[in-house]
Amino acid sequence: MTLAALDTVLRAANVGGYAVGGLVVLGWEDARAYVRAAEALGAPVILQAGPGCRAHTPLPVLGAMFRTLAEGASVPVVAHLDHGKTLEECRIALDCGFSGIMFDGSALPLDENIALTAQVAEMSHAAGAGCEGEIGFVGYAEGAPGVGTDPDEAARFARETGVDAMAVSVGNVHLQQTRAAVIDHARIAAIMACTQVPLVIHGGSGVSDADRQLLARETTVAKFNIGTELRMAFGTALRATLAADADVFDRLAILRATEAPVQAAAERVISGLMAGSQAGV
């Protein structure tokens, strides 16, 4: 398989009754583990470069890494910019070969969010990439509270921006370490009643397995962003490796030992999102 566009992968998910994992990448080891997990299950995967990752590794490096993994994979792989904050950052990502761009204007006034997101959607489509926007505001654990997505605003946002995916705030919370999110199913139904754009749940680590499966199977939610639970799996594996051998110092040996546990965690995520579907790639 070669690199896949975000819109192509999400449309297929909506048709197939499943959702795709937008898995947050922080380095080569976890990115490779995510692709191996997807291949083991015959499922598509979205490799996501969020703000923390980009602060550590330049976009050209991430773009080359994601494309290399995609070109060698047996399943569709999307190279996705997560929470892009400026037009210039989105342009750079497209120049670096990203096939999905998420512009986050959720903290802006509605008119400004629509105007800027529409520009990102236009340049993404010109480059053959898909575009994700956010309407409402998904809050952060121990941080800024969320603002629920208004269905009427969501309909206008979808209509005027031309996005291929729409991140919504429906009780989900970024950086949640427990499955404590209380999903507002009525709000999702109201959003679905006025727009056909595939929906995205950020803060997916805080959503229960039952809710993930239900939303993937029975709604237009086509993508779950998952980061915290995978970082926790990495941290647990890293601590266990160091505790097991106090003399180990080689970076490659230490990090290599995290890949199998992270792959196993990613497989659990992906299989849950695919549960009940007849999808194949």
pLDDT tens digits for range 6-54:
999 999 999 999 999 999 999 999 999 999 999 999 999 999 999 999 9
Looking at per-residue confidence, does 106 or 141 come out higher? 106
Q: How confident is the model at residue 66 (pLDDT cuts 50, 70, 90)?
A: very high
- 273, 18 in Cβ contact below 8 A? yes
> Catalytic site residues?
82
List b or e across 196-232, with b for residues whose CB sees 16 or more CB atoms inside 10 angstroms. Answer: ebbbbbbbbbbbeeebbbbbbbebbbbbbbbbbbbbe
Domain 6-274 has CATH 3.20.20.70: yes
Least confident of 8-22, 36-50, 61-75, 162-176: 162-176
pLDDT at 139: 66
Nearest one of 276, 132, 280, 273 to 216, comparing CA atoms: 273
Rounded alpha-carbon distances, angstroms, from residue 235 to 231, 254, 257, 259: 6, 12, 11, 11
- 50, 82 in Cβ contact below 8 A? yes
Least confident of 120-124, 126-130, 147-151, 196-200: 147-151
Least confident of 51-65, 71-85, 170-184, 233-247: 170-184
Q: Summarize the confidence of residues 97-106 as an average pLDDT.
A: 97
pLDDT tens digits for range 80-95:
999 999 999 999 999 9
pLDDT tens digits for range 110-146:
999 999 999 999 999 999 999 999 998 776 766 666 6
Residue 1 has pLDDT above 70, yes or no: no
Residue 151 has pLDDT above 80, yes or no: yes
What ranges do the domains of the chain cover? 6-274
- 161, 133 in Cβ contact below 8 A? yes
- Residues 6 or more apart in contact with residue 236 via CB below 8 angstroms: 261
Block residue for tokens 């937008």: 22
Copy the structure tokens of residue 103: 């512009």
Helices (H), ranges, the chain: 6-16, 28-41, 51-56, 59-71, 87-95, 110-126, 151-161, 185-192, 209-218, 228-244, 251-274
Mean residue pLDDT across the chain = 92
Amino acid at 172: N
Helix (H, G, I), strand (E, B) or coil at 6: helix
- 62, 54 in Cβ contact below 8 A? yes
Cα–Cα distance measured from residue 59 to residue 94, given in angstroms and rounded to the nearest whole number: 10
